[in-house]
Amino acid sequence: MIRALLHSLLYFPSRRILETPGQAGLESRDLILETDDGEQLHGWWIAARTEPLGHLLLCHGNAGNVGDRILHADLLTAVGFDVLLFDYRGYGRSSGRPSEQGTYRDARAALACLLAQPGIDAGRVFYLGESLGGAVALNLALERPPAGLLLLSAFTCVRDLARLHYPFFPASLVPDAYPVVRHIGDLRAPLLVLHGDRDETVPLSHGRALFEGAQGPKRMHVLHRVGHNDLLQLSGAEVGRVITSWASEVQGPQIAT
């Protein structure tokens, strides 16, 4: 019962896809990703719409599905990234049921799919983790270091969030799931932390703790007067400029900016 309750508090998948890339005027290809434990995941490949900056794997948050991340893809392809959007098991058109280890497996399958796309330069692959996806992207980055890791509104660990949002729940019963802050110091890839100063779901203190715990090349940018779910709507242009500047810097003179 406790495990089932915690699962329902952590994952909020939706099967209904409310928007597709085509509805936003973006050209895309549907992808089917095979995981090493037999699940089939759905994703989209959306090519960059300007001078190529790199290729980006997007690990989304714990709610909805890829159809709620079209704005992310629009922004990222506009600044020069090819984007692979994928759904974890149990989300959207993907089979299965979400779990911590399952999301890690899903990210590995998504990376393999990204690397198999035509024209990929493995040295220019970035990961972006949004909220819970930050933990998923970090886990992947420790196994397969990218050109850079972007953490967008990411949390320190599930226990810290549980203390904030479910104070009635005994802390001793909350599993040590997605312990980002414990492993961020092992990251050696360049890191960019983006966080809103009015984030009501994952407080800014989480982003600062992750930034402070990282030991490699790092940058943090605080977005003002935005929260958790309106960050891109209100600050999309600023986010695009920061990501472009950072990605160009970490790749050095090998790309034109």
Q: Residue 221 CA to chain centroid, in angstroms?
A: 16
167 phi and psi, to 5 degrees? Answer: -65, -20
Residue 199 annotated as catalytic: yes
Confidence band of 171 (pLDDT split at 50, 70, 90): confident
Q: Which domain holds residue 227?
A: 2-251
153-172: average pLDDT: 88
26-43: average pLDDT: 98
The tokens for 43 are 């994703």
pLDDT at 164 over 50: yes
pLDDT at 143 over 50: yes
Catalytic-role residue among 55, 199, 206, 221: 199
Spatial contact of 85 and 46, defined as CB atoms under 8 Å apart:
yes
Q: Is position 94 within any domain? A: yes
Q: Is position 192 within any domain? A: yes
**81 beta partners:** 54
52 phi and psi, to 5 degrees? Answer: -65, 130
The tokens for 186 are 């092992």
pLDDT at residue 1 in the model: 60
Q: Is position 256 within any domain? A: no
Residue 153 annotated as catalytic: no
pLDDT at 231 over 70: yes
Catalytic-role residue among 28, 131, 153, 235: 131
Q: Is position 199 within any domain? A: yes
pLDDT at 255 over 70: no
Q: Is position 20 within any domain? A: yes
**For a pLDDT cut of 70, what percent of the chain falls above it?**
95
Look at residues 183, 95, 98 and name the one whose alpha carbon lies nearest to residue 137: 183
pLDDT at 169 over 80: no
If one counts the domains in the chain, the total is 1
- Report the half-sphere exposure of 20 (CA within 13 A, side-chain side): 11
Q: Is position 225 within any domain? A: yes
Confidence band of 225 (pLDDT split at 50, 70, 90): very high
Residue 131 annotated as catalytic: yes
100-120: average pLDDT: 97
Spatial contact of 199 and 153, defined as CB atoms under 8 Å apart:
yes
pLDDT at residue 3 in the model: 64
Identity at 107, one-letter amino acid code: A
Query: Which pTM does this prediction carry?
Result: 0.95
Catalytic-role residue among 28, 74, 228, 235: 228
Q: Is position 257 within any domain? A: no
pLDDT at residue 4 in the model: 67
pLDDT at residue 257 in the model: 37
Q: What is the CATH classification number for the domain harbouring 143?
A: 3.40.50.1820
3-state SS string for the chain: CHHHHHHHHHCEECCCCCCCCHHHCCCCEEEEEECCCCCEEEEEEECCCCCCCEEEEEECCCEECHHHCHHHHHHHHHCCEEEEEECCCCCCCCCCCCCHHHHHHHHHHHHHHHHCCCCCCHHHEEEEEECHHHHHHHHHHHHCCCCEEEEECCCCCHHHHHHHHCCCCCHHHCCCCCCHHHHHHHCCCCEEEEEECCCCCCCHHHHHHHHHHCCCCEEEEEECCCCCCCHHHHHHHHHHHHHHHHHHHHHHHHCCC
C-alpha 198/C-alpha 195 separation (Å) is: 9
Over the chain, what is the mean pLDDT? 94
The per-residue pLDDT for range 56-88, each reduced to its tens digit, is: 999 999 999 999 999 999 999 999 999 999 999
Q: Is position 176 within any domain? A: yes
Spatial contact of 129 and 137, defined as CB atoms under 8 Å apart:
yes
Look at residues 199, 161, 197, 201 and name the one whose alpha carbon lies nearest to residue 178: 161
Confidence band of 173 (pLDDT split at 50, 70, 90): confident
- Report the half-sphere exposure of 76 (CA within 13 A, side-chain side): 24
Confidence band of 167 (pLDDT split at 50, 70, 90): confident
250-257: average pLDDT: 65
**For a pLDDT cut of 90, what percent of the chain falls above it?**
87
